[in-house]
Amino acid sequence: MTKQLDVLHPSVLTAHNNFGIDVGFLLKPKQSVFPFDIQLPEFDCRQVEHGASYKPHLKAGRQRKGTGSSNYGRKVERTMECLSCLERHYLLAFEHNNFIIDIREQYAMADDAVIRRLVEANRSIRRTDVKSIDFVLTLKLPWYPELIYIGVSVKEFRELCEPKIITRHNWEKQACASLGWGWLTATERDLDAVSARSRSFLREFTRRTPVTGFVHLLPHFAKLIRSTRRSSTLSQRIANASKALGIDMDDGFRAFAFSVQYGYLAVDLSQEMGERRLVSIA
């Protein structure tokens, strides 16, 4: 049985304080288990699709500069487009935050005045005529009754003082505020390098493996992992838990990665992770 959630109408909230959410909360939230029983609305208040039906405005490989990448998303299991390595690191971080139930990258925010002028001038509308926000996150907080939307601009810290970026950010912030959405900037200075490497390490075990085949295993697998000896390496702990469940080591590593990402295991990602390393599990 899934719980259908309503789209938050802009008039219900004021987003000037981002609902108390900052970049630190997005990167290091309180421990929580992902609510698999929640069903996203089909559309948001702008009639843009949620979930697997969403199509990003821009795609990796089409930009003139930056290191783009296409990544298999975990929240909704679709291909997600990151236009830089920094965006990819943030995508992995957002996927480990279980209050975030949808991630929509390269989200188009058309400027109605610009579109109107182009139409009146009988000019075709190019992709570059439509502004986009790097990420729009949808959150469900247990202490808040409705869905919350937060726009996130991911930029290098040195870019923040550039006039064109300041102008763009002012526009993004106002556009989000007009919808009752929050808005934040995020830079490489907010990221912990070790945590980023740990998330990338875990990502390697799942790649394009759907979580659906593992959901029923995760609570039992996590309990078995917690019961293994703390002095054992990660591989040893996974081997013991896998043997008890009758699964092979490959699926054991996948189950471990999913257990961490979806909140069944509280692992200290700020410590270097490796198959032969000890791992701190609460």
Residue type, 228: T
Domain residues for the domain of 108 are 3-190
- Asked if residue 53 and residue 176 are part of one domain, the reply reads yes
Cβ–Cβ under 8 Å, residues 132 and 171: no
User: pTM, whole model, 2 decimals?
Assistant: 0.86
Which of 144, 167, 190 is the endpoint of a domain? 190
Which of 168, 190, 212 is the endpoint of a domain? 190
Q: Which helix (H) or strand (E) segment is 252 a member of?
A: helix 249-261
**Residue recorded with tokens 């990338």:** 200
In the numeric block, which tokens belong to residue 71? Answer: 């990544």
Q: Are strands 100-109 and 79-82 parallel, antiparallel or unpaired?
A: unpaired
Q: What are residue 249's phi and psi, to 5 degrees? A: -65, -35
In the numeric block, which tokens belong to residue 245? Answer: 């469940």
24 located within any domain: yes
Please state the domain count of the chain. Answer: 2
Per-residue pLDDT of the chain (282 residues; tens, 9 = 90+): 344 444 443 333 344 467 889 999 999 878 889 998 888 999 999 999 999 999 998 887 665 556 778 888 888 889 999 999 999 999 999 999 999 999 999 998 876 565 566 556 666 555 566 788 999 999 999 888 899 999 999 999 999 999 999 999 999 999 999 999 999 999 999 999 999 999 999 999 998 888 989 999 999 999 999 999 889 999 999 999 999 999 999 999 999 999 999 999 999 999 999 999 999 887
35 located within any domain: yes
CA–CA dist 18, 16 (Å, integer): 6
User: Within the chain, how many helices (H) and strands (E) appear?
Assistant: 8, 8
199 located within any domain: yes
- Asked if residue 208 and residue 85 are part of one domain, the reply reads no
- Asked if residue 198 and residue 180 are part of one domain, the reply reads no
